[in-house]
Amino acid sequence: MGYVKVLFGKVVIRGKVFGKGLHIGSTQGGITVGGIDSVVVRDPTTKEPYLPGSSLKGKMRMLLEKMERKLANKSISDEVFIHQCNDYVEAYKSCSSCRLFGSSGTNQGRKFKNFPGRLSVRDMPGEKGGTITEVKSENVLDRLTSQAKPRQIERVHGTFLMTLIYDMEGHSFEVYDDEQDADILELEKIKELQKEDKEKPILNFDLAKDDLRNVFRIFSLVELDSLGRSGSRGYGDIGIEITDFTAYTIDYFQAGQDQSMRETARLSFEEECRKPDARPEIKKEDKTMAVNGIEVRRVEYFDPYIHFVKEIGQFYRDAFQERAIVILSDE
Ligand SMILES: [Zn+2]
């Protein structure tokens, strides 16, 4: 194999999740509260409720897979099937979901099955003093006798601090004349681009742009979905507000104490995010499109963020144009 992965930088999205009636349950052996049948997860050090990053990430993944009509092709138990791409190349080249969220591959016989996802979603602590919990009593009624079977469920309301980190990655090809490697990534295109300079790594910002757009697309859907248990019964209502969107090149982390270098290696939209016109809002809907014969209306992305993503592309191109081959379409 003749290629290595190259880290060009990190993109950090910070925001707040406003949650109402969330129940993300703790396992047995967690903190127990007398008489409550089901308690929420809590930070073991502070005992405060938090939102696990895995809950939001899992929901985002599921929604993107539904939007992109991904096949649930891998069995993880007798009754649970999930989507996973077959191998690294497929996940990287052609799967918006696996590229963002990762894939462990399917086919035993293949090389390079695992594709580590580019997006990390951190556990979300509650804002200081910003969360409260309630114990909600519910009844299950016997359908014949109407006898009630009561249960008590703990729920949390409040504001949680969200951090998402996207790895801006590319590849460097040390050897590529082996025909077996010919299908790795966009090799045809890359061979063409690398004719003059084989040493330069490749940053495909077109793929990164898609990834970042997808994150914002899913946010608009998550708000109309739910997190945690019992979404169809009013639980898990969330809203998301982006408070910061910052891109760092790898130089930022290598600059040490050099403040001026750190400043040029960072592009932040924190101030713009605070302005009301940059708040997430669905501007309009795209024209209808046919999906499997069903007419659907495709929701427009959050406009302000798409504008920021374009600027981030230009920022990476400017930073790396001498050192790498940056694939970035004008669109
Ligand atoms: Zn996939």
Residues 194-247: tens digit of each pLDDT: 666 667 888 989 999 999 989 988 887 888 888 887 877 778 788 888 889 999
Range of the domain at 129: 3-327
Measured in Å, residue 214 CA sits from the centre of ligand 1 at: 14
Count, residues in the chain: 331
Measured in Å, residue 119 CA sits from the centre of ligand 1 at: 14
Distance CA 277, CA 283 (A): 11
Q: Binning pLDDT at 50, 70 and 90, where does residue 186 land?
A: low
Distances (CA, A) of 10 to 107, 165, 262: 31, 7, 13
Mean pLDDT of 83-112: 83
**Segment among 109-113, 166-170, 215-219, 281-285 with least mean pLDDT:** 281-285
DSSP, res 283: -
Residues 114-171: tens digit of each pLDDT: 889 999 999 999 998 888 888 888 888 888 898 888 888 888 888 999 999 999 998 8
* 307 Cβ contact list (under 8 Å, min separation 6): none
Distance CA 237, CA 20 (A): 5
pTM for the structure as a whole? 0.83
Half-sphere exposure of 167 (CA within 13 A, CB side): 17
Measured in Å, residue 100 CA sits from the centre of ligand 1 at: 9
Strand partners, 160: 17, 126
pLDDT of amino acid 47: 84
Q: How many domains does the chain have?
A: 1
Measured in Å, residue 123 CA sits from the centre of ligand 1 at: 24
Measured in Å, residue 115 CA sits from the centre of ligand 1 at: 10
Measured in Å, residue 107 CA sits from the centre of ligand 1 at: 13
